[in-house]
Amino acid sequence: MDMFKLPPVTLESILAAVGTEIGVSDWRVITQEMIDKFADATDDRQFIHVDPVRAAAETSFGGTIAHGFLTLSLLSTLAYEALHPLENVELSVNQGFENMRFVSPVRSGARVRARFRLVKCNPRPSGWIEFAYDVTMEIENTLKPALTLRWLTLSKVDRSEVRT
């Protein structure tokens, strides 16, 4: 099953897009139910995430906030919404993050989206292609983003099928 919403593009078109914003995801609501499920999955049940009454009374957040790692984990699905996949890809894997910063808390009920700027596309003779994206996760109606980072990925392509 193809997770990407947008049609595939050629390596040539991706190489031409280096240095530009190449996608913006849809807005996604961060619900308390999502936060609670993430807390259960990770055993991180700190009150600022799971106790709306206490979080409102004892913090400046005005209620609960999402785990930073929850917002980070949404990047994969937001990328599927925002980015055109490269044609003839056999598989893609995460390689890591650079300069990752949680800038602002995401309150329960807030909407977030991700902006992707392609900063590197390096095809290797082996058929692997290195990608680097500068990503900003915005919070609707907020000046500061939820997070910023450089996302490093690798994609393996069938070299016999690649058209450049």
Contact predicate 132/119, CB 8 Å: yes
Whether 13 shows a pLDDT value over 70: the answer reads: yes
Whether 161 shows a pLDDT value over 60: the answer reads: no
Contact predicate 104/144, CB 8 Å: yes
Give the residue-averaged pLDDT of 119-140: 96
User: For the chain, what is the domain count?
Assistant: 1
Q: What is the pLDDT of residue 58?
A: 97
CATH at 131? 3.10.129.10
Is residue 51 a part of any domain in this protein? no
3-state helix, strand, coil in the chain (%, to 5): 25, 35, 40
Is residue 148 a part of any domain in this protein? yes
Q: What is the pLDDT of residue 162?
A: 46
**155 vs 129: CA distance, rounded Å:** 5
CA–CA distance from 99 to each of 35, 44, 104, 133, 147 (Å)?
25, 24, 15, 12, 10
Domain that holds residue 81: 11-29+66-157
Q: What is the pLDDT of residues 62-92, one digit of tens each?
A: 999 999 999 999 999 999 999 999 999 999 9
Q: What is the pLDDT of residue 4?
A: 73
Is residue 163 a part of any domain in this protein? no
Whether 160 shows a pLDDT value over 90: the answer reads: no
22 is written with which tokens? 């190449």
Please give the residue that has the higher pLDDT: either 136 or 5.
136
Which is nearest to 24 in space by CA: 149, 145, 120, 114? 114
122 is written with which tokens? 């390096």
Q: What is the pLDDT of residue 159?
A: 67
Is residue 90 a part of any domain in this protein? yes
- What pTM value is reported for the model? 0.92
Counting residues of the chain whose pLDDT is more than 70, the rounded percentage is: 95
Give the residue-averaged pLDDT of 95-114: 98
Is residue 99 a part of any domain in this protein? yes
